[in-house]
Amino acid sequence: MTSLPQNKSAQIIVISPHPDDETLGCGGTILKHSAVGDTIHWLIVTGMTEKQGFSPQVITQRQKEIESVAQMYDFETVHNLSLPTTRLDAIPLGDIINGISKVLLEVKSHIVYLPNRSDVHSDHRIIFNAAWSCCKTFRFPFILRVLMYEVLSETDFAPALPETSFLPNIFSDISPYMERKIEIMREYRDEMREHPFPRSEQNIRSLATVRGATAGVEYAEAFMLLREVF
């Protein structure tokens, strides 16, 4: 029987459609994994290019943000496929699958965090479909747990239909890590604004408070468990 490592670090990978998704969706949980000695890897799928209209200054700023965030989380490795942001629908899905597969085979993570399958952003939906294809047990037997995270301004704006609802069944107590999560999120200078903008500090705290109340703790992050082997 295969199970998660006992008395030694687990290998974790967080797959982000865009930089900041990892912090919004599971920043506190990443810090929690780090605190118990787990090894954490970060896979960013998209990036900015001048061809898409981004200025060199904006591209440089984003790279500095990524480097700073990676250091604050103490990621073991950072991988960036640098696919064009908001343009994934123009790329063959097989190419995205191959890119994600190579990283998963390299790091051999036991636990995988994915974006929600029904997020309003097409990049999130495409990356979920590609990443889920990379979680087949017969090809990636080292993957023992797969969880789907929620992202403010993406998950909450999905159509209010039963098939697109985010129905969490796993809650992570991030009470000791909430302030650090906010601090890391502030590194993304252009991603946070004042309430009622969805990605405001107030809304980040509010969502964590609601999830915490469900779990009986002060602050929590919520996930949908898609598969677990134990």
What the block records as the tokens of 135 is 């979680």
Please give the single-letter amino acid code of residue 51. Answer: K
- The domain locations on the chain are 11-228
pLDDT given at position 135: 94
Quote the distance between the C-alpha of residue 205 and its chain's center: 18
pTM of the model: 0.95
Give mean pLDDT, residues 130-145: 95
- Rounded CA-CA distance 213/226 in Å is 23
Quote the distance between the C-alpha of residue 123 and its chain's center: 13
> pLDDT category, 2, cuts 50, 70, 90?
low
Q: What percent of the chain has pLDDT over 90?
A: 90
> pLDDT category, 53, cuts 50, 70, 90?
confident
Which residues, at least 6 apart from 99, have a Cβ–Cβ distance to it below 8 Å? 45, 81, 83
In the chain the beta strands, taken as DSSP E runs, fall at 11-16, 39-47, 77-84, 111-115, 145-149, 170-173, 220-228
pLDDT given at position 49: 87
Question: What stretch of H or E contains 184?
Answer: helix 178-185
Segment 72-120, tens digit of pLDDT: 999 999 999 999 998 999 999 999 999 999 999 999 999 999 999 999 9
What the block records as the tokens of 47 is 């990036």
Give mean pLDDT, residues 158-169: 93
The correct CATH number of 11-228 out of 3.90.320.10, 3.40.50.10320, 3.20.20.70, 3.90.1150.10 is 3.40.50.10320
pLDDT given at position 180: 98
Segment 202-217, tens digit of pLDDT: 999 999 999 999 999 9
- Rounded CA-CA distance 164/10 in Å is 31
